[in-house]
Structure 1
Amino acid sequence: MELSYILNELGEDREMYFNAVAPPILQTSNFACKTVDEMRRMLRNEAEASLYTRGNNPTVTMLEKKVAALEGAEHAIAFGSGIAAVSAAVLSQVNAGDHVVCVQKPYGWTNTLMNRFLPRFGVEVTMVDGTDPQNYRHAIRPNTKLLYMESPNSFTFELQDIAAVTALAREHGCSTILDNSFASPLYQNPIQFGVDLVVHSCTKYIGGHSDAMGGMICGSRERINRIFEREYMTLGAILAPHDAWLLLRGLRTLPVRMERVAASARTVVAWLEQQPQVERILFPFLPSHPQYELAKRQMRNNTGQFTIALKTDDIQQVERFCDSLQHFLMAASWGGHESLIYPAAAYYGGGEQQGRPPFNLVRFYIGLEDPDYLIKDIEQALAAIS
């Protein structure tokens, strides 16, 4: 299926809404039935019907069709946030007494799900260094039901060998889930490597404007409909029609935004490599990165995120650098038009610090600004700590 067709035509039955170029926001909670028999049929197959927006809504369905096609999946289901999608996907695969093997250092709330929430309901979780697939093998038990990946992860960007982990899962009768938010469906398609369920924070690249939140699970129609009938309808973490419309708008420009972000990130990273105040750069598409060949094999391009380690053991130096940046916003997310930083130093200064990344790490997200404009800003911030 052609990318241009997916983004501009798939699921858009314009003759049904007055041939409007932009799809409508069907801001309704209910859909009426003409007969008892029609309502009966819808109730029996609500996963495929528009009956109640807590189940299906045509604006949301249009988004689901497009993201599923981008991932090469049979079907998809949208949620109100990325972690809602992650939680529903994980819960759909486990019961009390089961065991999960999860990559270490996943997204913070995924980590909370794995290590605080699931154990409350009798599900054990083992965290492993996913850079070596054999660590998954060594952690598998007779009751292991799920292998969870996040490749690359969202701060230090370690990758997992997706094909190797999915082969292990098939060998041991386990399911696999991978969070693909970092790469977007344009630059990595885990289903091609055998992953059962792919999850996204649509808040990031898919939305692209920092004005809407959403999550998505992609997979086989059988698996997605089973999630619809259980976790989705029961827990109710739905995506609102207006947010779905904003995410649809974001999809229109996804290819051009990703191309710009990728090129600008390479330019900024190349400049940072020459700066003496930078100890190292965590960026999978650097030839010096230990997983560079794996990144090229699994991903079609780099994206806009990388992390630098400042050459200092003084947290105040790190704070001064971050506070001196004038054109990077300090914020928790990424994927929008604006460039951002997220300092590991924010985790320090009180409370539990075990397991936190080193305080001299600063995550960058490169947005749509001119890269030379951003480099000048980083240059003056580095000068502030020289």
Structure 2
Amino acid sequence: MDLSYIINEYAEGRENYFNAVAPPIIQTSNFAFKTVDALRKSFEDEYSTYLYSRGLNPTVDMLRKKLAALDGAEDCLVFNSGAAAIFASVLANVKSGSHIISVKNPYTWAKKLFEIILPKFGVTHTYVDGTDTENFANAITPNTAIIYLESPNSFTYELQDLQAIAALAKQHYIVTIIDNSYCTPIYQKPITLGIDLALQSATKYISGHSDVVAGVLSGSKAMIERIFNSEYNTIGSGIQPFNAWLLLRGLRTLPMRLERITNTTKTVIAYLEQHPLVEEVLFPLSPNFPQYELARQQMTGGCGLLTFTIKANTIQQIETFCDNLQHILMAVSWGGYESLIIPKCAGLPQASFNAEDKSHRMLRLYVGLEDADYIIKDLDQAFKIINL
């Protein structure tokens, strides 16, 4: 299916909505029925009809169909956060006594799910270095139910060989789940590589405006329907129609935003790599990245998230650099119009800082839609302050 068709036309049903160019917001909680029999059939199969907007809603359905098509999946669900998509996808595929294999250092709320919530119900986990597929093979037990991936991850960008891991998992009837937030379905399609469930934070590039929190989960129709009829509706974590409409609006400009961000990121990386106060720049599609060849195989682009290590002897130098940025905002997340930065040391007590630990000197930079020169000038003036 053509990308332009998916974004601009697919699933919109304009003839049903007065031929409106912009899709409508069906802001209703409830749907009415003319006969008892029609209501009865909706109770029996809520996945196929509109009954209550906690489940299906026409505005949300337009978005679901577009996002599934972008992923190359049969179907998808849209949640009110990426964390909710993680929760539902994992919960739907474990039972008491199950075992999960996860890449080490997954997203914070996946980590809390594995370490705090699921152990209450007898579900165990093993973290592995995902850069070597053999580590997954060695960690499999008879009760392994899920292999959980995040490729690239969101700070140091380690990759997993998705095709190899998918093949391994299928041999052992294990469900594979990946957080694909870094690439979006535009730049990486895990479903086509054999992964069972692909999720992403739509808060980021899909929205593109930093005004919506949402998550997407794509997979086979059978799997998505099973999750809809259980975890999705029971938890009540579906997205609201107005937020779905905002994401539909964000989709219109997704390809051109990613193209601009990608091009600007290349210029910013070139600046950082030659700066005397930068020790290292991490970006999956840089030729000096350790897994560059795998990145080229799996990804068609890298968007705007990179990490650089600053040459600093004290935590105060890093804080001074960040505190003096005038236009790059200090905040979590990424994918919006605005450039963002977050220093790794913000998650450390000041007394724990160790300049010899390179990770303590890392800063994650998201390159937004500003001109490259605008971003570079801001970085440059902050570097000069700590270089006095």
TM > 0.5 fold call: yes
Give the Cα–Cα distance (whole angstroms) in 1 for the partners of residues 352 and 209 of structure 2: 34
Per the TM alignment, residue 351 of structure 1 is displaced from its structure 2 partner at its CA by 9.8
Q: In structure 1, the residue corresponding to 2:243 is in which secondary structure?
A: helix
**Aligned AA (1:102):** S
- Contact kept, 8 Å, 2:42 with 2:49, in 1: the verdict is yes
Question: Which aligned pairs between 1:360-371 and structure 2 lie closer than 5 A?
Answer: 360-371=361-372
Give the Cα–Cα distance (whole angstroms) in 2 for the partners of residues 106 and 351 of structure 1: 25
**Aligned AA (1:191):** I
Give the Cα–Cα distance (whole angstroms) in 1 for the partners of residues 110 and 358 of structure 2: 16
Match of 2:5 in 1: 5
Give the Cα–Cα distance (whole angstroms) in 1 for the partners of residues 272 and 12 of structure 2: 44
Per the TM alignment, residue 352 of structure 1 is displaced from its structure 2 partner at its CA by 9.0
Q: In structure 2, the residue corresponding to 1:251 is in which secondary structure?
A: helix
**Normalising to structure 2: TM-score of the pair?**
0.97
More off after superposition, 219-228 vs 340-349: 340-349
Question: Which aligned pairs between 1:291-310 and structure 2 lie closer than 5 A?
Answer: 291-310=291-310
Q: 1:30 to 1:357 in 2, by over 3 A?
A: farther
Match of 2:385 in 1: 384
- Contact kept, 8 Å, 1:344 with 1:357, in 2: the verdict is no
Aligned: 1:149 with 2:157: no
Match of 2:30 in 1: 30
Give the Cα–Cα distance (whole angstroms) in 1 for the partners of residues 78 and 49 of structure 2: 15
Q: 1:171 to 1:319 in 2, by over 3 A?
A: same
Structure 1, residues 67-106: CA drift from partner, whole Å, max 9, x if none? 0000000000111000000110011110010000000111
Match of 1:117 in 2: 117
Match of 1:45 in 2: 45
Match of 1:283 in 2: 283
Give the Cα–Cα distance (whole angstroms) in 1 for the partners of residues 172 and 83 of structure 2: 27
**Aligned AA (2:28):** T
- Contact kept, 8 Å, 2:315 with 2:353, in 1: the verdict is no
Aligned: 1:248 with 2:267: no
**Aligned AA (1:372):** D
Structure 1, residues 1-43: CA drift from partner, whole Å, max 9, x if none? 0001100111111111111111111110000011011111111
Question: Which aligned pairs between 1:1-386 and structure 2 lie closer than 5 A?
Answer: 1-349=1-349, 358-386=359-387
- Contact kept, 8 Å, 2:344 with 2:360, in 1: the verdict is yes
Per the TM alignment, residue 357 of structure 1 is displaced from its structure 2 partner at its CA by 8.3
**Aligned AA (1:166):** A
What 5-or-longer segments of structure 2 have no aligned partner? none
Structure 1, residues 272-318: CA drift from partner, whole Å, max 9, x if none? 10011001111111100110000010000111000011112311111
Give the Cα–Cα distance (whole angstroms) in 2 for the partners of residues 70 and 333 of structure 1: 22
Structure 1, residues 99-120: CA drift from partner, whole Å, max 9, x if none? 0000011111111111111111
- Contact kept, 8 Å, 1:97 with 1:143, in 2: the verdict is yes
Per the TM alignment, residue 121 of structure 1 is displaced from its structure 2 partner at its CA by 1.1
Give the Cα–Cα distance (whole angstroms) in 1 for the partners of residues 162 and 351 of structure 2: 35
Per the TM alignment, residue 45 of structure 1 is displaced from its structure 2 partner at its CA by 1.1
Q: In structure 2, the residue corresponding to 1:318 is in which secondary structure?
A: helix
Q: In structure 2, the residue corresponding to 1:182 is in which secondary structure?
A: coil
**Normalising to structure 1: TM-score of the pair?**
0.98
Per the TM alignment, residue 195 of structure 1 is displaced from its structure 2 partner at its CA by 0.3
Give the Cα–Cα distance (whole angstroms) in 1 for the partners of residues 286 and 386 of structure 2: 25
Q: In structure 2, the residue corresponding to 1:341 is in which secondary structure?
A: strand
Give the Cα–Cα distance (whole angstroms) in 2 for the partners of residues 168 and 262 of structure 1: 33
Per the TM alignment, residue 328 of structure 1 is displaced from its structure 2 partner at its CA by 0.4
Q: In structure 2, the residue corresponding to 1:209 is in which secondary structure?
A: coil
Per the TM alignment, residue 213 of structure 1 is displaced from its structure 2 partner at its CA by 1.0
What 5-or-longer segments of structure 1 have no aligned partner? none
Give the Cα–Cα distance (whole angstroms) in 2 for the partners of residues 263 and 281 of structure 1: 16
More off after superposition, 357-366 vs 376-385: 357-366
Structure 1, residues 180-215: CA drift from partner, whole Å, max 9, x if none? 110011000001110000011100000000001111
- Contact kept, 8 Å, 2:96 with 2:123, in 1: the verdict is yes
Q: In structure 1, the residue corresponding to 2:177 is in which secondary structure?
A: strand
**Aligned AA (1:4):** S
Q: In structure 2, the residue corresponding to 1:359 is in which secondary structure?
A: helix
Per the TM alignment, residue 358 of structure 1 is displaced from its structure 2 partner at its CA by 2.6
- Contact kept, 8 Å, 1:210 with 1:336, in 2: the verdict is yes
Give the Cα–Cα distance (whole angstroms) in 1 for the partners of residues 152 and 25 of structure 2: 34
**Aligned AA (2:89):** A
Give the Cα–Cα distance (whole angstroms) in 1 for the partners of residues 151 and 45 of structure 2: 35
Structure 1, residues 234-290: CA drift from partner, whole Å, max 9, x if none? 111110000000000000000000000111011100111001100111111110011
Q: In structure 1, the residue corresponding to 2:359 is in which secondary structure?
A: coil
Give the Cα–Cα distance (whole angstroms) in 2 for the partners of residues 297 and 242 of structure 1: 37
How many equivalent residue pairs?
A: 385
Give the Cα–Cα distance (whole angstroms) in 1 for the partners of residues 160 and 51 of structure 2: 41
Q: In structure 1, the residue corresponding to 2:178 is in which secondary structure?
A: strand
**Aligned AA (2:235):** L
More off after superposition, 166-175 vs 179-188: 166-175
Q: In structure 1, the residue corresponding to 2:312 is in which secondary structure?
A: coil
- Contact kept, 8 Å, 1:347 with 1:353, in 2: the verdict is no
- Contact kept, 8 Å, 1:277 with 1:382, in 2: the verdict is yes
- Contact kept, 8 Å, 2:101 with 2:140, in 1: the verdict is yes
**Aligned AA (1:273):** E
Give the Cα–Cα distance (whole angstroms) in 2 for the partners of residues 176 and 351 of structure 1: 40
* Percent of aligned pairs with the same amino acid: 54
